[in-house]
């Protein structure tokens, strides 16, 4: 039995020791927003936040999240109230097949929380672990930049 | 593809870890960040009954600057090192080498100890069990031949850790602990050169600390890495250098260490015989570069062919030396 905070709520769940966090999320908790691409840390489709930092959930053993804070794509917004990054992704056409999108959004969200005014280079670095085979990244970067610029305006 | 079944134990202290290692022997494997180990498990390259998670060993999570130099606990993550002002300001080339490893989500989990203790890699070995079945086991998996070279009688898997070459160039030491004893040795002596068993750790031992001596005035160092794309990539070749400036722009000491072009980091020993008292110029750069190329042992089992990688070792050596030399100049004037 492990206990941790999932998307702001404390949960307790039985999990075999050899399960990854990704498998726990998808197969036991039915949170299918987090995707499995490669299973070996190379694609970033499985990116979630662990104590606010992006990690590849396919490389994290589930028992390791005991007592920690996990955030998945299901926690950042919903159909009624999308996260600003989600809105911006739609607006800029940063979603095509959508397989990489949850992972990219988690990386981007973590970046903006730690660094609200990143440069374009910092944005690229932050999403460098997320492979996208559709968009060519340009729209993704622009969508994130748009949110950054919006944040900038708000703070002035 | 799921992981094989195992028991997962998370000890709270180093002593408890040593006891567990002793008790479970060959059946146990250590998991630090897990960014390499989980992949070995998924590919069934390791089939432990017990996995010992080290994350709870907060006693191995430290970074401190003393008068002898830097000491780093083996469980410090690459992300922590990357963000450390101590390393950013005090050891900028180390900071840049760390930033070139994998990608941020991996570095958030990956540890320094795990990086040094990486298993050697080979495209015939680091594959799924299914893929490997199509050709039968290689030497390392109990078969009779190494596929990396024709009729290979020796495992040619490549040591591909990015940090060991640079740390060896800096004369780093490592501390190793077991239930019976503690030993400290130069990182250079940590590696065996055997593809199937790259380091000297015994089954009951654990790497606990990395010590990086203070660099004296007049010393510069650098790491250059060859890879296919800029992120997420193990080195196809790596060159680390450390150089000390003497009187009148002469070279007083030099050390060149190659990574990912052999079964262990390779020190280009000839380099140090060549030079003492020589001026730093294009001619000497050419000689160092030739010696580095000669010392490299790239096998053609990677995406870039071995001749190209050997040539690039020469190019990277020059680049690294130029940068390291520029660093000695900066340090002298400051
Ligand atoms: C997509 C991707 C890209 C990568 N790119 C790079 C790269 O560019 N350069 C690079 O160097 N690495 C790379 N790696 C490999 C790996 O992520 C790093 O080397 C990392 O630092 C390993 O640390 P870890 O804590 O995750 O090790 P783990 O996976 O936990 O362990 C690695 C090995 O070391 C052993 N071990 C760990 N800690 C100890 C200890 N304290 N004492 C004794 N044995 C120990 C384990 O048993 C295991 O065999 C990459 C990995 C991925 C998934
Ligand atoms: S599924 Fe985890 S990185 Fe690809
Ligand atoms: S939108 Fe298809 S992979 Fe990124």
Min CA distance, B145 vs chain A (Å)?
Answer: 27
Inform me whether the pLDDT recorded for B124 exceeds 70. Answer: yes
- DSSP annotation of B128 reads -
Nearest to A56 among B5, B79, B105 (CB): B105
Q: How far is the CA of A81 from the centre of ligand 2 (A)?
A: 28
Nearest chain A residue (CA) to B103: A129
Helix ranges (DSSP H) in chain B? 14-24, 37-42, 78-83, 85-90, 92-99, 104-107, 112-116, 129-133, 163-169, 269-275, 282-295, 306-333
pLDDT, tens digit, 9 for 90 and up, residues B130-139: 999 898 899 9
pLDDT of res. B152 = 85
Is the distance from CB of B164 to CB of B267 less than 8 angstroms?
no
Statement to judge: residues B67 and B181 lie in one domain: yes
Element (H, E) at B13: none
What does pLDDT average to over chain B? 93
Of A17, A44, A107, the CB nearest to B6: A17
Is B200 found in the same domain as B289? no
Longest dimension (CA), chain B: 63
A129 pLDDT exceeds 90?
yes
How far apart CA B31 and CA A60 sit, in angstroms, is 10
Task: Verify whether the Cβ–Cβ distance B55 to A55 is below 8 Å.
Answer: no
Q: Is the domain of A88 the same as that of A60?
A: no
**Pair (B241, B194) in one structural domain:** no
Residues B197 and B298 in one domain: no
In this prediction, residues A18-34 reach a mean pLDDT of 98
Answer yes or no: do A92 and A56 share one domain. Answer: no
Q: Report the relative pairing of strands B219-226 and B237-245 from DSSP bridges.
A: antiparallel
Say whether B105 and A129 touch across the interface (CB within 8 A).
Answer: yes
Complex confidence, ipTM: 0.96
Exposed, middle or buried by CB within 10 Å (0-12, 13-18, 19+), for A83? Answer: middle
With beta carbons under 8 A apart, name residues in chain B contacting A25: none
Q: What's the confidence (pLDDT) of residue A154?
A: 72
Residue B257 inside a domain? The answer is yes
Q: Which residues line ligand 2 (CB under 6 A)?
A: A 36-39, 41-46, 56, 58
Mean pLDDT for chain A overall: 96
Q: Flag whether pLDDT at A47 surpasses 90.
A: yes
Nearest alpha carbon to residue B287 among B324, B314, B313, B251: B314
Ligand (nearest to CA of A59): 2
Instruction: Give the one of B42, B55, B232 whose C-beta lies nearest to A128's C-beta.
Output: B232
At A131 the pLDDT is 97
A19 neighbourhood in chain B, CB within 8 Å: 2-3
| CATH number of domain containing A38 | 3.10.20.30
User: What total number of domains does chain B contain?
Assistant: 2
Q: Each residue of B163-203: pLDDT tens digit?
A: 999 999 999 999 999 999 999 999 999 999 999 999 999 99
Question: What pLDDT does residue B302 have?
Answer: 66
**Which of B114, B190, B206 should be mutated for ligand 1, with most atoms under 8 A from CB?**
B114
- Cα–Cα distance, B67 to B49 (Å, whole number): 43
What pLDDT is recorded for position B263?
96
pLDDT > 70? residue B294: yes
Least confident of B33-42, B269-278, B322-331: B269-278
My answer on whether A71 and A89 are in the same domain is: no
A97 CB near ligand 3 (under 6 Å) = yes
Is the domain of B202 the same as that of B77?
yes
Flag whether residue B5 sits within 8 Å of chain A, measured between CB atoms: yes
- Residue pLDDT, tens place only, B266-281: 999 877 776 777 899 9
What is the extent of the structural domain holding A18? 2-75
Q: Ligand 3 pocket, A138 CB below 6 A?
A: no
Selection from A137, A73, A77 nearest residue A103 by Cα:
A73
Answer positive or negative: Cα dihedral of B326, B230, A106, A54: negative
Half-sphere exposure of B160 (CA within 13 A, CB side): 22
pLDDT of residue B334: 45
pLDDT at B271: 73
| In the predicted structure, residue A95 carries a pLDDT above the cut 80 | yes
For residue B75, give both structure tokens: 């469980």
Whether the predicted pLDDT of A155 surpasses 70 = no
Q: Evaluate if residue B333 carries a pLDDT over 60.
A: no
Q: Are residues A94 and A71 in the same domain?
A: no
Tell me which residue range forms the domain holding B113.
58-117+158-213
């Amino acid at each position: 039995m492990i206990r941790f905070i999932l998307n702001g709520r404390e949960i307790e769940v039985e999990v075999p020791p050899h399960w990854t966090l990704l498998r726990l999320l998808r197969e036991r908790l039915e949170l299918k927003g987090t995707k499995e691409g490669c299973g070996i840390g190379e694609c970033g489709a499985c990116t979630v936040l662990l104590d606010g930092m992006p990690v590849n959930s396919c490389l994290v053993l589930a028992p390791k999240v005991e007592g920690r804070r996990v955030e998945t794509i299901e926690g950042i917004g919903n159909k009624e109230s999308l996260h600003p990054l989600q809105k911006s992704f739609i607006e800029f056409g940063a979603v095509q097949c959508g397989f990489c999108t949850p992972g990219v959004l988690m990386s981007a969200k973590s970046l903006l929380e730690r660094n609200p005014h990143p440069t374009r280079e910092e944005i690229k670095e932050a999403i460098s672990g997320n492979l996208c085979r559709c968009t060519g990244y340009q729209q993704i970067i622009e969508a994130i930049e748009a949110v950054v610029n919006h944040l900038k305006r708000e703070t002035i | 593809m799921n992981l094989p079944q195992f028991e997962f134990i998370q000890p709270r202290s180093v002593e408890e870890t040593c006891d567990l290692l002793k008790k479970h022997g060959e059946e146990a494997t250590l998991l630090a960040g897990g960014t390499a180990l989980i992949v070995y498990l998924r590919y069934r390259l390791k089939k432990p009954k017990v996995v010992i998670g080290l994350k709870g060993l907060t006693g191995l999570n430290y970074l401190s600057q003393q008068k002898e130099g830097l000491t780093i606990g083996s469980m410090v993550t690459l992300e922590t090192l990357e963000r450390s002002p101590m390393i950013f300001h005090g050891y900028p080339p180390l900071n840049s080498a760390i930033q070139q490893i994998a990608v941020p989500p991996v570095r958030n989990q990956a540890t320094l100890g795990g990086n040094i203790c990486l298993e050697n890699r080979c495209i015939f070995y680091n594959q799924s069990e299914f893929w490997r079945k199509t050709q039968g086991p290689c030497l390392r998996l109990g078969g009779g031949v190494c596929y990396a070279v024709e009729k290979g009688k020796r495992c040619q898997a490549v040591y591909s850790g990015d940090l060991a070459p640079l740390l060896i160039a800096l004369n780093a030491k490592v501390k190793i602990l077991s239930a019976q004893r503690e030993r400290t040795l130069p990182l250079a002596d940590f590696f065996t050169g055997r593809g199937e068993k790259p380091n000297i750790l015994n089954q009951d031992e654990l790497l606990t600390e990395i010590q990086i001596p203070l660099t004296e005035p007049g010393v510069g160092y650098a790491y250059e890495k060859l890879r296919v794309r800029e992120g997420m990539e193990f080195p196809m070749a790596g060159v680390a250098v450390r150089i000390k400036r003497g009187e009148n722009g002469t070279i007083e000491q030099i050390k060149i260490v190659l990574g990912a072009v052999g079964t262990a980091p390779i020190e280009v020993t000839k380099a140090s015989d060549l030079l003492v008292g020589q001026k730093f110029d294009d001619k000497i750069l050419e000689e160092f570069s030739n010696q580095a190329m000669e010392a490299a042992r790239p096998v053609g089992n990677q995406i870039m062919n071995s001749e190209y990688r050997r040539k690039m070792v020469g190019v990277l050596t020059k680049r690294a030396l130029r940068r390291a030399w520029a660093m000695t100049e900066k340090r002298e004037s400051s």
